[in-house]
Structure 1
Amino acid sequence: MTTRLEDLPVVVIGAGPVGLAAAAHLHERGLPFTVLEAGDGPATAVRQWGHVRLFSPWRYTIDAASRRLLADAGWVEPDAERLPTGAQLADEYLQPLADLPALKPHVRYGARVVAVTRLGLDRLRTAGRDQAPFLVRLGDGTDLLARAVIDASGTWSTPNVLGASGIPAHGETAAAAFIEHALPDVLGADRDRFAGKRTLVVGAGHSAANTLLVLAQLAQEVSGTEVTWAIRAASPARTYGGETADALPARGAIGTRLREHVDAGRIRLVTGFSAQTVTVKADGEVEVSDGVRALEVDRIVAATGFRPDHGIVSELRLDLDPILGSTRALAPLIDPNEHSCGTVPPHGVDELTHPEPGFYAIGMKSYGRAPTFLLATGYEQARSVVAALAGDWAAARDVQLDLPETGVCNSNPILGDETAAAEGSSCCGSTPTDVVAPAAGRGLATGIAGGLLSSPLTLVSASQSGAGEQSGGCCG
């Protein structure tokens, strides 16, 4: 007997914040669904940065459909203005959501998706394509059929490299034991790796800022701890952001605190620096060079952002922007070469549609390499896409977003950081300069900023399907 396409479930990849939001909306719409999560529980990726506090309060981190389902089950919503940590986001919201009877039977853990295609069709075949079910293959060889696929797997598991040219710096792979990726637990589980050491933090986003702040705190607690911050831009103005002009006070405070540490010399700032070579010396010291200057440190934090991995859907017909890796329609709204705003125009199913009918990437992955994603944006994407799958196109296109302004926005890519800052805006300048703020001590180091993340990083489905706040701005 032939299974009708409309009788098959919608497969959601990833049980992070955005993936579970999609599941909640699918339930409300009465559409059958299955959530596939690579981890052993919901919010696996979020828990990896559970020590970090979001700068977005609870009112921006709870999806509307999820709130309704939880409220019906007697859930007590956290204080709307409180700032949750990643662990609190997972324990107080996402775990209870995933455990609801409406969702729990439909969520499969330990189910890593390795490929998505059309049953009996490769990418070349056109005839009958829109009527063929999706075939979703898992790592254990299981094949599932779906009427549609929503990829909310995020990007947490695919961080950018340290090398400034988009490929590993010379020696980067060999030096992997000395390199951390975004948001290490500097004051907790990872403390021994940083205490009394010289750390270099590379990157200009909120992940870098958070790490720098906690490293600066560690330096005040443990002698010999030194922090160096290296950025490609000519000025840190974009990282400092809107400060007191930011509609999210906690986000603005990150820039203010970071500026104070740099001005006081507690964090050594190096501008116009692009990592080209990493060398591990015989004594265990690590040298990072841009071809002109060499920074000698003990550890490196590569807070250089994330990139999407579309490998599992290589047999689907995607229309990806050649720069960002998002859809072509979404790219102009989020391109960091043009905008440094923390907010974007409302967008939904129309901007997320590919030539492959029924396939959508939402959440952090939908932004490709753009770093300004906010969790609230992912929730609205989920609502819009699910409404479209239910055939309610009026609701799908009635996209509304309430996002707090950052207090800075540069839509003129010609301006460098210095000019942009003078005109009240901020983005990525590219003119190399030398060390701006030398600090006491040897080498360079950078740390994790004090406990506030950036926007809800859909850091990946547990394997990035949704994790927390990741944004940070343009160029790392």
Structure 2
Amino acid sequence: MDEFPVVVVGAGPAGLAAAAHLLERGLRPLVLEAGAQAGAAVAQWHHVRLFSPWSELVDPAARRLLEAAGWSAPEADRHPTGAEWAAGYLVPLAGALGGHVRLGTRVVGVARRGRDRVVDAGRDGEPLTVHVATADGEERITARAVVDASGTWTSPNPLGGDGLPAVGERAAADRITYRVPDLAVEAERYAGRRIAIAGSGHSALTALVALADLAERHPGTHVTWLLRRGRVGNAFGGGEADQLPARGALGLRARAAVRAGHVEVVTGFRTATVEREDGRVVLVSQDGHRLDPVDEVVALTGFRPDHSWLSEVRLELDPVLGAPVRLAPLIDPNAHSCGSVQPHGANELRQPEPGVYLVGMKSYGRAPTFLALTGYEQVRSVVAEIAGDHEGAARVELVLPETGVCGGSGVFDAPTGGQSGGCCAPAPASAPASVAVLTLSAPPAR
């Protein structure tokens, strides 16, 4: 099958890095990107600053390719925004890859040539076929292997607390966003309004800090932070102990915003219903607790992978996370933090369908806190395996920064050893036992 290219789905950080490694191995990559530019998903969160510095955001093989084309690396210790990462690295990298990258090409299916998922006979001797849709129509591309680096950006988790959209959530879509607001262009939408933020991850903290700053500048802006977990616990992250200082600083700023009174915290709240009321929306929890009406809802409850277009290839995925079964135990947020993720590569990412690999954010399924370094090491190993360098594929080395907030939604019910800084008032008598409205205050003078 050497005559066929290795198709890489997605021109994001992991996909473009895979293409760079394939070229170094003398293999022919073909990167298929649905968007109009490389890093199309990154460009959509252009206003958000990354936790990782430039030194951890450039793949080694990609760096060698770029430098050969005259590229100058940005300052290693600076933290870029999404826009800077896309413009300063991803777009130039796609340019260096030239005709190996096709934009405006959406993958709609992958199969074994002439065989559906059920057929065994003659399967091993056939290449893969990649079905794509473009502005000019449909096309089939024959491939020796498929590296799925399409990510999860297009599949945000819903606001509903059971993993499905809450009743009325779709009907209130004009009042709900699933992305961190860009207040440089959307300030009027939120200034002086009542806003609810749902979620406990880094995106939620980023939005919380931004909207709290807006509330300080625009009186009348009210921010309510909704947590499904029963207490704040470690939601503010590792703080000064975080090995990614920018990530730790974000948690400290979020804690300060709550203590300053710019944010009301409601714990134990799992949205069941979204109701319209006089142009606003009312969120109702599964146990009937109704919040005061809000003008806008920012739902930042994570992402999930879309496997629908892989339905005709044989996949072996974890039933909980939707990640490759060999990888899932290593990244399960119920048991692991970022720093305890073991080295992994082709062996953990391979599928029963030969030549099919899930890499990057998509490989983590619903597990949170994926880092670019993880994706770069994944694709290095996978490309070595495709090239027949099994020893190189097995030689996986990965060290990730430790943090106190790598748990995702799967651990929000877990008991915590104590409050994370400050002191919390007990739940008001009028609130259900499972819902607590908290106010964090500064520690008393000593």
Q: Is the 8 A contact 2:229 2:413 kept in 1?
A: no
Q: Are the structure 2 counterparts of residues 16 and 319 from structure 1 closer, same or farther at C-alpha, using a change threshold of 3 Å?
A: same
Paired amino acid for 2:434: P
Aligned to 2:380: 383
Q: Which deviations, in whole Å up to 9, do the C-alpha atoms of 1:187-206 show, x marking residues without a partner?
A: 21222211111110000000
Q: Which deviations, in whole Å up to 9, do the C-alpha atoms of 1:74-123 show, x marking residues without a partner?
A: 211111110000000001111111111xx111111110010100110000
Aligned to 2:196: 200
TM-score computed with the length of structure 2 as normaliser: 0.91
Larger RCO (alpha carbons 8 Å, 6+ apart): 1
Q: Are the structure 2 counterparts of residues 45 and 342 from structure 1 closer, same or farther at C-alpha, using a change threshold of 3 Å?
A: farther
Q: Which deviations, in whole Å up to 9, do the C-alpha atoms of 1:125-182 show, x marking residues without a partner?
A: 1122122111111122111000000010000001001000111111111111100002
Aligned to 2:159: 162
Q: Are the structure 2 counterparts of residues 409 and 204 from structure 1 closer, same or farther at C-alpha, using a change threshold of 3 Å?
A: closer
Deviates more, 1:336-345 or 1:370-379: 336-345
Q: Which deviations, in whole Å up to 9, do the C-alpha atoms of 1:260-286 show, x marking residues without a partner?
A: 1112221100000000110011x2111
Q: Is the 8 A contact 1:199 1:226 kept in 2?
A: yes
Unaligned runs of 5+ in 1: 423-430, 440-476
Indicate whether 1:21 and 2:13 are aligned.
no
Indicate whether 1:286 and 2:281 are aligned.
yes
Deviates more, 1:404-413 or 1:337-346: 404-413
Aligned to 2:58: 62
Paired amino acid for 1:288: L
Aligned to 1:317: 314
In the aligned structure 1, how far is the partner of 2:434 from the partner of 2:54? 40
Indicate whether 1:240 and 2:236 are aligned.
yes
In the aligned structure 1, how far is the partner of 2:38 from the partner of 2:405? 34
Q: Is the 8 A contact 1:336 1:370 kept in 2?
A: yes
Q: Write out aligned runs for 1:444-463 (5 A).
A: none
Q: Is the 8 A contact 1:236 1:417 kept in 2?
A: no
Aligned to 1:92: 88
Aligned to 2:370: 373
> Which secondary structure does the structure 1 equivalent of 2:110 belong to?
strand
Give the CA RMSD over aligned residues: 2.0
Q: State which of 435, 451, 456 in structure 1 corresponds to 2:437.
A: 435
Q: Is the 8 A contact 2:339 2:399 kept in 1?
A: no
Q: Write out aligned runs for 1:12-411 (5 A).
A: 12-100=8-96, 103-139=97-133, 140-185=137-182, 187-281=183-277, 283-290=278-285, 291-295=287-291, 296-341=293-338, 344-407=341-404
Paired amino acid for 2:45: W
Q: Are the structure 2 counterparts of residues 414 and 374 from structure 1 closer, same or farther at C-alpha, using a change threshold of 3 Å?
A: closer
Q: Is the 8 A contact 2:230 2:412 kept in 1?
A: no
Identity of aligned residues (%): 54
Paired amino acid for 1:399: V
In the aligned structure 2, how far is the partner of 1:348 from the partner of 1:420? 37
In the aligned structure 1, how far is the partner of 2:337 from the partner of 2:388? 35
The CA deviation at 1:415 is: 8.6
Q: State which of 5, 9, 13 in structure 2 corresponds to 1:9.
A: 5
> Which secondary structure does the structure 2 equivalent of 1:237 belong to?
coil
Paired amino acid for 2:332: D
TM-score computed with the length of structure 1 as normaliser: 0.86
Q: Which deviations, in whole Å up to 9, do the C-alpha atoms of 1:369-400 show, x marking residues without a partner?
A: 11121111011111000000001111111111
Q: Which deviations, in whole Å up to 9, do the C-alpha atoms of 1:263-320 show, x marking residues without a partner?
A: 2221100000000110011x21110010332122110001010010001110000001
The CA deviation at 1:226 is: 1.0
State the number of aligned residues.
424
